[in-house]
Structure 1
Amino acid sequence: MSYKRVFGEMNEFEFNAYDEDNHSIVTFCRIFTNGSDSKIYQCMFTTFFEVYEDLTGEKPSFYHFNSEKKGWAAIIVDLDKGQAKGLSLALNSLCNSISAEQHLLYILKSCSVHFERNVRNSKYSDESKFLMRQLLKAKTKDDVDFIFEQLETIGDEKIHDWITEYQTPWILASLNHNYSLMDYDIWMTTPFDTNVSECSHANVNREGTRLRLKTAIFQ
């Protein structure tokens, strides 16, 4: 989500990917919105899927529920709960053979840069922050359990709230592959951050910021 592009309450939501063959960022779609809750995100993802089908004549295909194992295999997000829930509901409208949250276990990765920034800017002790960062590197579920146990032992104020949040199945699965249902090869060969989107925001903002909505649409 870009918050500088348009003047006022309107923000710009982009769908981006990195084209490895041409070494360039590809923006599939831009949606202008004045909201960011789960219902708004569900609407934006659903609209994107519908536009994709209108343009290509095919429904969007995702690797984890495609019988031929073709289609988009990973979506990298920035730990926004509303965005994740909206995505899960939109995916569930395409395939309801699994639950909405299960879709996230197959498809979602959370940006390690955003995670690190959240840890760095938190008010927890340096000892706790060190353990939190190990969550991304833990090689087994036992290692992850040990990290949470050590955080409980340190006992920083409100640390239980942090533990509860990061034990949420989709959040934990998006940060550590031991809890993800994504194929390991896909996990290792797809980005661990949203730098592609950040670069796209920067490129677009060079054309101007705080623009009138009509100007932003036509640029």
Structure 2
Amino acid sequence: EGKLARGTLHSWPIPCKAKFDIYTPYDLAACPQVLVICSNIHSHPLPAPVKTPKAIQVIFHKLLLTLSWKLADATPRRILLNSAFIQALRAQLDWKETRNPSLSDLHPSLGNSNHAQRLINSLQFDEFPSGTGFEGAIHLATKHDLLPVNECYIRCAETHQLPTQSVTLTSSLQLVICMTQRMLWHLMQAKQLLIDTSFKCVHGWQEFELESWDIAHMKSIIGARAFTTSQSAQAHFILFQQIFEIASADTGCTVQFHYMHGEGIQTIIADGHKGQGLGKYIFLHSEPATMTQPLSFATWIHMATCSQFYCLCLAHYKCNIHSLRSQVLKDMEIAMLTIASAEPHPDLQGTLTKIKKGGKKAAAWLKDKIEGTKFTLPALYQPNSLIPLEIWKALPTTTNSNEQAHRNVNRDGVGLTLLGGIMRGFHYD
């Protein structure tokens, strides 16, 4: 009826026969002692303590500090999966059992995960006064600015305003770029760059990677790692511009593309994201006025330039086609796959016509590749590309090395705070 009613206390289902007799002196100042006599046996276990003594809190915080930067993402579950924390806890408890101790073995009150999380949060506030998000990244970036160049990792943590279709409205881009000096040199010397973006590592952020193959050590190396909040063309333009400006300033080398300078970056392999493709084009043809207006569809007319260096990851291409299996016929799927080739197609126009007549989904797929993303066909089919055949055949066909790099970083956890993601990338790089 919308009224607050008084609650009723239910008695313990098993009545306890224990009886307490308490004797208090008339003058507690003269006799500061109270006598408590308990008779009979309790029919229930003692209630678990709900408060953690100060001495135990000090020990718990000391154990948490062994996590170092991982404290930014600490939870009661994660710390029990951390080998360093468990070893410190075993040493603190002088633990001899085979099984690992739990927090309740340190004190029963810590068996309450919410209570343990509150104690963790209080230490996080002390250790990360600027928080573990973007403000914390800015604070860490200012510290890295004071380090020697060969120790600096966070190169910028900035906010940029992006134009929109509305004259009066803008959207913001938050950007964090991370590169060591050795990563910069590797990036500037790379011939084939691979690009991929992950959405799992940091909650609410995209993790961007520029990677290339190190022939001397026969392994893929990350050249630049960045965290962004936007995947638009304008955002990618700013991202590429910032990365290569930082790299040029630190190494003294200018970024060069093989098709323009005769040396330098030969190809860029990516997953076909429109924002990435158009952002790279703007970067190569950027002028101060480029970013004053939002990008229109007419800009795609000039995307032929991308055919001189841009290739698509075949793994992403095939995966997107396979996702249409239930909506297109098998021969349409095969026809789509035959477009990706380094050799001349026996009947390319006939294949495109066949796909166009292959149903609504197939026609929409083809329209997107021909009109929506004009760089797609040259990035898949070498005869339509301006990349020399010998370079085309030597380049990687997928961005799987990027995917593996993301996987390696994500093995220790996903959905991290921005500060935790940055530090995890730092130790990996």
TM-score normalised by structure 2 residue count: 0.47
Give the CA deviation at 1:52: 1.1
Aligned partner (choices 115, 140, 154) of residue 317 of structure 2: 115
Assess if the C-alpha contact under 8 Å between 1:92 and 1:100 holds in 2. no
Question: CA separation in 1, counterparts of 2:343 and 2:389?
Answer: 13
Following the alignment from structure 2 to structure 1, what is the Cα–Cα distance between the partners of residues 368 and 221?
33
Match in the other structure for 1:65? 260
Q: Which residue of 2 aligns with 1:3?
A: 199
Note the 1:75-90 alignment, pairs <5 A.
75-90=268-283
CA contact (8 A) 2:341 2:380 kept: no
Query: Distance between the aligned counterparts of 1:55 and 1:100, measured in 2?
Result: 32
Q: Distance in 2 between matches of 1:125 and 1:62?
A: 41
Task: State percent identity of aligned pairs.
Answer: 26
Residue number among 221, 229, 232 corresponding to 1:34 in the alignment: 229
Structure 1 unaligned runs (5+)?
none
Q: Matches of residues 57-206 of structure 1 in structure 2 within 5 Å?
A: 57-66=252-261, 69-93=262-286, 101-122=303-324, 123-137=327-341, 139-140=343-344, 143-153=347-357, 155-168=358-371, 169-206=374-411
More helix by share: 1
CA distance in 1, matches of 2:328, 2:211: 34
Q: Which amino acid aligns with 1:149?
A: T
> Structure 1 runs of 4+ off > 4 angstroms?
none
Aligned match for 2:415, one of 210, 214, 219: 210
Q: Secondary structure at the residue paired with 2:414?
A: coil
Is the partner of 1:31 in helix, strand or coil? strand
Label 1:125 to 1:138 Cα distance change in 2 as closer, same or farther (>3 A): farther
The alpha carbon displacement at 1:100 in A equals 5.5
Aligned residues of 1:106 and 1:181 also touching (Cα < 8 A): yes
Residue 156 (structure 1) shift: 1.1
Cα distance, 1:78 vs structure 2: 0.3
Give per-residue Cα distances to partners, 1:87-141, cap 9 Å, x unaligned.
Answer: 11112129xxxx9523311010001111111111012111211111111137336
Q: How many residues align?
A: 211
Q: Equivalent residue of 1:136, what SS?
A: coil
Greater RCO structure (CA 8 Å; 6+ sep): 1
SS class of match (2:286): helix
Residue 181 of structure 1 and its aligned partner are, at CA, apart by: 0.5
Q: Distance in 2 between matches of 1:118 and 1:159?
A: 12
3-state SS in 2 of match to 1:59 = coil
Query: What is the letter of the counterpart of residue 307 of structure 2?
Result: L
Offset of residue 142 of structure 1: 5.9
Shift of 1:22: 0.6
| Partners of 2:411 and 2:313 in 1: CA distance | 24
Give the TM-score normalised by structure 1.
Answer: 0.89
3-state DSSP of counterpart to 1:46? helix
Q: CA deviation at 1:159?
A: 2.7
Contact residue 91 and residue 103 of structure 1 kept, 8 A: no
Q: What is the alpha-carbon distance in structure 1 between the residues aligned to residue 417 and residue 302 of structure 2?
A: 36
Looking at structure 1, the residues matched to 304 and 369 of structure 2 have their Cα atoms a distance apart, in angstroms, of: 16
Q: Distance in 2 between matches of 1:139 and 1:102?
A: 20
Alignment of 1:25 onto 2:230:
no
CA distance in 2, matches of 1:127, 1:142: 16
Structure 2 Cα separation of the partners of residues 54 and 36 of structure 1: 25
Where 1:42 maps in the other structure, the secondary structure is helix
Secondary structure of residue in 1 paired with 2:348:
helix
Letter in 2 for 1:28: G
Please give the secondary structure, in 2, of the residue aligned with 1:109.
Answer: strand
Deviation for aligned residue 1:179: 0.7
